[in-house]
Structure 1
Amino acid sequence: MSFSERSERFDTPADRFHFFTNPSARTVRHGIRGMAARRHHMLRDYQIVIFKDQHGVYRKLRLRGWLFFLTLLAIAGMVAANIVLLSYYGEYTLKELELAAAEKTVQEQKSQLLNLSEKIKGIEADLSRIRDFDAKLRLMINLDQEPRNVSPQPEGGDQDFSKKYIPLYRQEMLARNLHKFLHDLGEKASLEKTEQEKLLALFNENKDYLSSTPAIWPTQGWISSEFGERVSPFSGRKEFHKGLDISTTLGTPVYATAAGTVSFAGEGQGSGPTVTIEHRGGITTSYSHLDGVAVTQGQTVSRGEAIGSVGDSGRSTGPHLHYEVRVNGVPVNPMRYILN
């Protein structure tokens, strides 16, 4: 019950006297007075003095009590907000630095993987060329192909890591795969090295034989007709093409593909000027549709020696060289005897 409600009940002076002389009533009265005093103290005017310089020039600002406390609360709120913002900004900056460091690490790892992948592909290409060269040499010297214990590619499929996305959680798996891949590649390289050493020893024992074995392109140009069955450009019917047609410009030099003796140098049957060279091991090579012949029958030639030039003679559809390789009189694919 409030003080005003109690006052309405004091109908007589005696009642009012009893109330104000009662101790409990005095306590309420003092409490009300204290609240009023505190309220008056808080709502009184405040003055803020701002000194402009050291000569005593100042300025006074008068603030109402409630406005003063409201200003203090606003300042405190701003300070607290700044503290929170600075804290969040510090955490955000730290996260950005950590993210930048992680991205840099990922880029470095990616670059290393790409470089390693390129090196691996280069090694694979070199091994492939070695295998092809090895196979051609074995065919040239009639050496049987030996079985290989190492497959052309390690188990596990395509190992081209540059075409795959490598998440961070797969780094350990990738390391294991790379280790296995390099191990298999090392085994292949070791095996190829052993095979090449065997071939080198064999070559040293058969230098004369190898020098008389066709091994180079007879001229510069492009293949216009391959060895094997084809449609004749003259009859339109299928026929077996016994050699290799190499188209090029008129007058391009033609070279002997191996050391040997010229067995024929003259006009061929429908092939224009032709040169035939006998080599060791029952191998012969012939060069047709020449523009001119630079050797004579019985002449000894060496590999790479010019024997004529490309022409458009005989039955021809344009300047080209018809090149044949025969073993014991049987036409074989000249590509087996081209290593360069």
Structure 2
Amino acid sequence: MLFRKYHIVVFKDKEGSCKKFQLRGWFIISLFLMTITMATGNVILWKKYAQHSRVEQGLNIAEKTVQEQKTQLLSLSQKISSLQNNLSRIRDFDSKLRVMINLDQDGNQAAAPKGGSANENFSKGYLPLYRQELLARKMHEFLRQLNVEARLEEVRQQEIMHTLRNNKNILEATPSIWPTSGWVTSGFAWRTSPFTGKREFHKGIDISAPRGTPIYAPARGTITFSGRDGSYGLSVRLKHNASLSTRFAHLHRITIKNGQVVTRGELLGYVGSTGRSTGPHLHYEVRLNGVPVNPKRYILN
């Protein structure tokens, strides 16, 4: 059969002629097998293509889902960071209030949630699933700690409000506002003196402002001194209670008198550059029992 000869005759109607082809059996069988193989290959390729299309479609859906999850995680982490910042400001405010009203610092304050920032950078591409799960667990822990801190802070604020209601007079006589507008150029710290070049401790804060900027009383008190005071230039001293006082130096002009009682926000004078000064600014001191303390502890706004 393989070597038998087969003849194929093709007739041409119009010309009345014909063509004769001679094929071996093995050739016909080979041609048949090739046809079957090609057909089978096409079927397999089509199935593979269909399978690939389904996989690709599934990957696209999964990628879209992952992207949505990443967006949600990013939004949640940003909210957590915002809550952390807000609670931090509340804790600072709480601490200042306690100093001002002589209320003991709460030794049981919850520590700020630890473990690094909850905010991951999702803009650098695909975040592995295990990282997403880890981040989700971390953020849930952050939320739990923030929730505990918020409840504790609420209790502390209620304690402060109770103390404030019972000590209204103390609060009115406790410095709590900026004495003038401007920007701090020298803080309550060691520094190199701009006049001697030696290292010395700066007993207050310097608030740089244009000449003539109003200066206000930070709390109720009695003026114990107003006039020239050596290197302080034109200055004012304000006694708030038996232990707490404030000092304002380098004024351009003073608007109050000795013995005068002033209230919080009342005008004391104007920013200047009298005395030993490098330019218009207010030197502001807060003294507790005669000892200088950081004025920023007595500034709430």
Does TM-score exceed 0.5, indicating one fold? yes
Q: CA deviation at 1:193?
A: 0.9
Q: CA deviation at 1:101?
A: 0.9
Aligned-CA RMSD value: 3.2
Q: Report what 2:82 is aligned to.
A: 122
Give the 5 Å matches for 1:17-36.
Answer: none
1:87 has 2:87 as partner: no
1:206 has 2:170 as partner: no
Q: Report what 1:107 is aligned to.
A: 67
Q: Larger relative CO (CA 8 A, sep 6+): 1 or 2?
A: 2
The 3-state SS of whatever aligns with 1:276 is strand
Which one-letter code corresponds to 1:83 in the other structure?
Answer: V
Q: What percent identity do the matched residue pairs reach?
A: 47
1:190 has 2:151 as partner: yes
2:111 is aligned, of 124, 133, 151, to 151
Given the superposition, is the C-alpha separation of residues 172 and 236 from structure 1 closer, same or farther in structure 2, using an over 3 Å criterion?
closer
Q: Report what 1:14 is aligned to.
A: none
Do the aligned partners of 1:46 and 1:65 also contact (CA within 8 Å) in 2?
no
Q: Report what 1:160 is aligned to.
A: 118
Q: Report what 1:303 is aligned to.
A: 264
Q: Runs of 5+ in structure 1 lacking a partner?
A: 1-34, 50-60
1:142 has 2:102 as partner: yes
Q: Could you give the per-residue CA deviations for residues 90-120 of structure 1, whole angstroms, max 9, x where no partner exists?
A: 1111111011111111111111111111111
Q: Could you give the per-residue CA deviations for residues 103-144 of structure 1, whole angstroms, max 9, x where no partner exists?
A: 111111111111111111111111111111111111112222
Query: Could you tell me how far apart the structure 1 residues matched to 2:248 and 2:4 are?
Result: 124
Which has the larger share of helix?
Answer: 1
The 3-state SS of whatever aligns with 1:318 is coil
Query: Could you tell me how far apart the structure 2 residues matched to 1:309 and 1:225 are?
Result: 19
Q: Runs of 5+ in structure 2 lacking a partner?
A: none
1:225 has 2:186 as partner: yes
The 3-state SS of whatever aligns with 1:280 is coil
Query: Could you tell me how far apart the structure 1 residues matched to 2:105 and 2:282 are?
Result: 32
Give the 5 Å matches for 1:230-309.
Answer: 230-309=191-270
Max Rg structure: 1
Given the superposition, is the C-alpha separation of residues 48 and 314 from structure 1 closer, same or farther in structure 2, using an over 3 Å criterion?
farther
Q: CA deviation at 1:39?
A: 5.0
Q: TM-score, normalised by structure 1?
A: 0.75
Give the 5 Å matches for 1:4-83.
Answer: 39=4, 42-46=6-10, 64=21, 66=23, 79-83=39-43
Query: Could you tell me how far apart the structure 1 residues matched to 2:196 and 2:136 are?
Result: 62
The 3-state SS of whatever aligns with 2:212 is coil
Do the aligned partners of 1:224 and 1:247 also contact (CA within 8 Å) in 2?
yes
